Amino acid sequence: MFMNEALLYRPTSGATADDLVAQLREARDCTRRLTDDLTVKQLMGPMLPIVNPILWEIGHVGWFHEYWTLRHAHGQTPILERADRLWNSSTVAHATRWDLDLPDREGVFGYLADVLCRQIDRLGGRVDVPASYFYELSIRHEDMHVEALAYTRQTLGYPRPQGLGRPAADRAGAWEGDVVVPGGRWQLGSTPADGFVFDNEKWAHAVEIAPFRIAKAAVSNAEFAAFVAEGGYRRREFWSAPGWEWRERVAAEHPIHWLHNEGGSWTWRSHDEVETLPPHAPVTFVNWYEAQAFCNWAKRRLPSEAEWEAAALGEASADGTRLTSTKRRWPWGEAAPSRERVNLGFACEGPFDVAACAAGDSAFGCRQMSGNVWEWTASDFTSFPGFAADPYEDYSKPWFHTRKVLRGGSFATSARIARPLYRNFFTPDRNDVIAGFRTCAV
């Protein structure tokens, strides 16, 4: 019955069984590189509301794969009888995850490997469309946790993971100024032709966009430092009421990992080391409240997600007066992501300067609208017209109206997730994710 039911779900990317096996192995390689070097103590870590115990998270990744592919799509019996009670994130309260009777390190990593072996064996060189959907869902779910593991290591001050990307040494400098995006009717969201998409992207619908000016690049560390230097964190007029309450509660005076030095210079804590703050890299690990306060100080604003999407993927008519119906797959066009165009999938081990990757510019001249850092938008995370939850019902629906939308992806995001149509979403107080922002003229 699961197979017939799955036919009702939505298109897949058309990946073959061999493609899926390669993607399973690729995602798992990233998971292992981010966790293999950690001690038993580090794998548990402190109880914080913004992180999971890493050992629990590894088991959850394996459980999700097993639940949706081996059990749901293929009808197999559970590998571990108590797996649901340990790793079902919909029913296992966050605060209890440090107190569960988890298998030891060898047991959790062994379970992860066992699930992968069974998936590869079950694929057996072929996969039908219904089952393919659940493999693609599970692979993307692991992609999300790979990125979460990357910023968890930063949050907890663990050493930088080795062997994932080259140093972010591309110091291309600043990239200032705005571009003009004409108004018009825009199809916001995804279509069946986009392949595998998540339920909150469904489906594309017409929205009217007025002409606007948007920054060519994300706000840099140097630009944000000017806001801090002018007392931006202490001036109530720049902050919304919830934002000011957050700032007061946590006593924020600057972005969370920044360190102020004598003479007014800045360094920052990068994993377990202190480094010079690169002035022209995008400001990172700032939350929506901080982005909004900067905009108020700069007499700017955040783009709506429709504006962001149009600036990233749209094209102008020949006379430049309106948006056309053309919607690119990537900011630069249809070609697959490459290191010349975008910093994705740990191409680098961190963000590089906002002027880098000119080959990845959008039609309007916006740079790095894919990769490097996620970008906050002004938009609340809400459903699109006609929304219906996909099989993983808790993915989107419980979080509508409580989070803000981010777009674009970071250096730690896989290309599968960092499609410009993908809608990321976090609460406005989260400053642990790899997020920055760009601004629009008021």
Q: Can you give the pLDDT of all 442 residues of the chain as single tens digits?
A: 344 444 444 568 889 999 999 999 999 999 999 999 999 999 999 999 999 999 999 999 999 999 999 999 999 999 999 999 999 999 999 999 999 999 999 999 999 999 999 999 999 878 888 899 999 999 999 999 999 999 999 999 999 998 888 887 768 999 999 999 999 999 999 999 999 999 999 999 999 999 999 999 999 999 999 999 999 999 999 999 999 999 999 999 999 999 999 888 999 999 999 999 999 999 999 999 999 999 999 999 999 999 999 999 999 999 999 999 999 999 999 999 999 999 999 999 999 999 999 999 999 999 999 999 999 999 999 999 999 999 999 999 999 999 999 999 999 999 999 999 999 999 999 999 999 999 999 9
* 103 close to 111: Cβ distance less than 8 angstroms: yes
For 72, which DSSP code? Answer: I
Scan for tokens 């600043």, then name that residue: 174
pLDDT of residue 2: 45
Q: Which residue from 114, 124, 131, 5 is spatially nearest to 63, judged by alpha carbons?
A: 114
| SS3 at position 395 | coil
Please tell me the number of Cα atoms within 13 Å of 321 on its side-chain side: 1
**Tokens describing residue 431:** 């400053």
As given in the structure block, the two tokens for residue 50 are 């913004």
Residue 28, pLDDT score? 98
Q: Name 226's Cβ contacts closer than 8 Å, sequence gap at least 6.
A: none
Cis bond leading into 203, ω under 30°?
yes
DSSP H helical ranges for 277-419: 288-298, 305-313
- 435 close to 406: Cβ distance less than 8 angstroms: yes
Q: What integer pLDDT is reported at residue 327 of this predicted model?
A: 98
Instruction: Find, among 155, 154, 146, 165, the residue nearest to 35 by Cα.
Output: 146
- Rounded CA-CA distance 417/85 in Å is 28
Q: What was the pLDDT predicted at 11? A: 64
Residue linked to tokens 């003479």: 263
Report whether 214 contacts 262 (CB < 8 A): no
Domains of the chain as residue ranges with CATH? 2-155 (1.20.120.450), 165-442 (3.90.1580.10)
Q: Give the three-state DSSP class for 380.
A: strand
Of 418, 434, 435, 436, nearest to 151 (Cα)? Answer: 434
* Distance of alpha carbon 283 from alpha carbon 93, whole angstroms: 33
Alpha helical stretches, state H, 66-128: 83-87, 105-123
Q: Which residues contact 173 (CB under 8 A, 6 or more apart)?
A: 280, 353, 355
Strand ranges of the sheet holding 258-260, from the earlier edge strand across to the other edge? 258-260, 266-270, 273-276
Write down the pLDDT at residue 84.
98
How far apart are alpha carbons 427 and 191 in whole angstroms?
27
Q: What are the tokens at 153? A: 């290591």
* Whole-number CA gyration radius for the chain: 22
Helix and strand element counts for the chain (H, E): 11, 13
| pLDDT of res. 10 | 56
pTM, two decimals, is 0.96
* Helix axes of 54-65 and 105-123: crossing angle, nearest 10 degrees: 20
Closest Cα to residue 173, out of 217, 214, 226? Answer: 217
Query: What CA–CA distances, in Å, run from 310 to 131, 207, 211, 230?
Result: 34, 11, 11, 33
What 3-state DSSP class applies to 258?
strand
